[in-house]
A and B are shown apart, each in its own frame.
Chain A
């Protein structure tokens, strides 16, 4: 695969996105257009748009990488990403649409009639948005480097520039059809190469995916180290190396004894067939039956970790900032439900694919365990199995799909975060609303991009999992109790948001900065949802019961608004999220 084709695929995706953003500015004239341009869109297209925005780098690249390294337990990631929409459908979809809220802070304000509740929700939207943007940028760096060999920082900067141009020129998100197109692009970009990969795999006599022992190189394999990595060698290895190993320049045969070895950028190492694959220190890949069967992870308490992850993914989806806004483009509550049903179909279709890449990648891209870049398996596999022009074309296709994934998710998140920053946090200091929004968009991007460039590379799907955990411990209780329990008070909501959101954010920071390896601390901090989510619910219910006088005055009217079908002519109150914009201009 030549770098030019990869770069061309990335640039075409980027330019197309910017162009669409510029055309979109003419279509979207008012704030309401900006969000609601597509009131007449059918549930099928709305669902495609939701899928297009939701399927991020974690789904497109991360899941396959995790399956490659850790096997059966990782199948819970795509299952959870999909199940989250089932929970969203039955608990919040229709009432949320009927509330008329554009954003989560809007919902908090409308339901609780309290500005402090709104501001607390705003801070959490920004936290979750940044946590979700971080892995998107890391993935962009990985993709650009894997495909073109360009330095790591180029990818994030490219994505940030395209997103910024798109957002500032008038709202990429106004165009439902663009996001819808992104879904079908991503599906095609993953499905078409997958078909070829399976065919080639079958033509080679379907070699066994799961070898008995630890993974070995099937043939002589030479690996070029793109980023310095330290690897753990279990048995003495005779390799041929050119470059710098353990700080010493080498050129020729080399014996690597058991222990840790550092391979510096640019080094080329050739391993003989049958050699045990040394794995990056940052990974503890599973082998043999441990990979094939669930709950065999080397980590302690795999049962707790699995359940906590399930909980976070099931209940976190409804609290993701960029998911809610998409629901407003449905004409009514019934359409919001039908859209969600269609989303479940589209996501199910998509998530059949990453597993295929992860499993077959086990045979054909074993060196990813060495470099630790397992997230690259989707990008490498087509070129590895299919030669010549066809292979190049398929690689270009997955590259374009991956880039589309970063762009659509990042722009959705950036708009959500920037909207909240400009309305609730910066807006009070900067008078001009347009300038406030631009400043916010810049800030919304700069913080996660700085983190992405400076922090150690964490697994894409892992960090996204943490964002889900924070959402499940904060917005899930707010939405569920707010919609179904009329005794929720603003004090209770704030207490719950601070308890759940605060504790899970601390756990995330603990995992990233401290990463304890032994005992209960590791799983408790890496998968916090199982204890932070119940605590958030407890705090909300407890404090609400203790402050019965603070129940919102208009709660009965709000409940009527949330739950009655639009076909019945009722007084639903006059709250309108757009009042905020009107009063500002």
Chain B
């Protein structure tokens, strides 16, 4: 008695075997998974360094500016001299702005990452 075997071309009936999901690639630490993780880390680091460079750079330049152009320190606004106004008041809302900018962008990067993973 012979066995009957149905032979069909696989692609005709259903799509080829689905590629492993991206989360699986990441869990198994395949090269592809590595690429996705590394690019996530790199974009987060780029954002972090950009925010730090701008915020701390401006701040760190202040002592130098005060040193090189002492006449700036004598300017007074609303009866408060400029160094006191900048270091005592203006920096705080500026910090908050920088923090808000960073947080919203970091969340966007994570959303994009999650979208890519969930799409496949």
Contacts and interface: CB of A to CB of B under 8 A. Distances in A.
Contacts, number: 135
Contact of B59 (A79, A341, A352): A79
Contacts of B34: 556
B83 A75 contact: yes
Contacts of B81: 72, 292-293
B44 A563 contact: yes
Interface string A318-355: 00000000000000001001101100110111011001
Contacts of B73: 72, 293-294
A538 interface: no
A565 interface: yes
A60 interface: no
A568 B100 contact: no
Given A292-B81, A294-B83, A560-B26, A341 B66 contact: no
Majority SS of interface residues in chain A? helix
Interface stretch (A80-88, A243-251, A408-416): A80-88
Contacts of A75: 83-84, 87-88
B103 A568 contact: no
Contact of B110 (A85, A294, A334, A484): A334
Contact of A355 (B23, B40, B45, B84): B84
B103 A83 contact: no
B63 A307 contact: yes
Given A89-B102, A341-B99, A348-B92, A79 B87 contact: yes
Majority SS of interface residues in chain B? helix
Interface residues of A, number: 48
A344 B92 CA distance: 8
Given A352-B88, A563-B40, A83 B96 contact: no
B32 interface: no
B86 to A, nearest CB: 9
B56 interface: yes
Contacts of B27: 570-571
A168 B59 CA distance: 43
Contact of A72 (B83, B98, B111): B83
B67 A307 contact: no
Given A86-B99, A564-B113, A295 B63 contact: yes
Contact of B37 (A345, A351, A559, A569): A559
B91 interface: yes
Contacts of B47: 90
A87 B84 contact: no
B114 interface: yes
Given A90-B48, A565-B114, A352 B107 contact: no
Contacts of A112: none
Interface string A68-99: 00001001100100110111011100100000
Given A89-B102, A337-B103, A82 B95 contact: yes
A310 interface: yes
Contact of A90 (B29, B52, B67, B114): B52
B55 A86 contact: yes
Nearest to B116: A568
A502 B102 CA distance: 34
A353 to B, nearest CB: 10
Shortest 7 CB-CB distances between A and B: which pairs? A348-B92, A75-B87, A90-B48, A565-B110, A571-B27, A341-B99, A294-B66
Interface of B: 23, 26-27, 29, 34, 37, 40-41, 44-45, 47-48, 51-52, 55-56, 59-60, 63-64, 66-67, 70, 73-74, 81, 83-84, 87-89, 91-93, 95-96, 98-100, 102-103, 106-107, 110-111, 113-114, 117-118
18 contacts: A82-B91, A86-B56, A89-B102, A89-B103, A90-B106, A94-B106, A292-B81, A294-B87, A303-B63, A307-B63, A310-B59, A337-B103, A337-B107, A340-B99, A341-B96, A344-B96, A355-B88, A556-B37
Given A294-B66, A556-B29, 5 more contacts: A85-B95, A89-B99, A293-B81, A345-B96, A484-B41
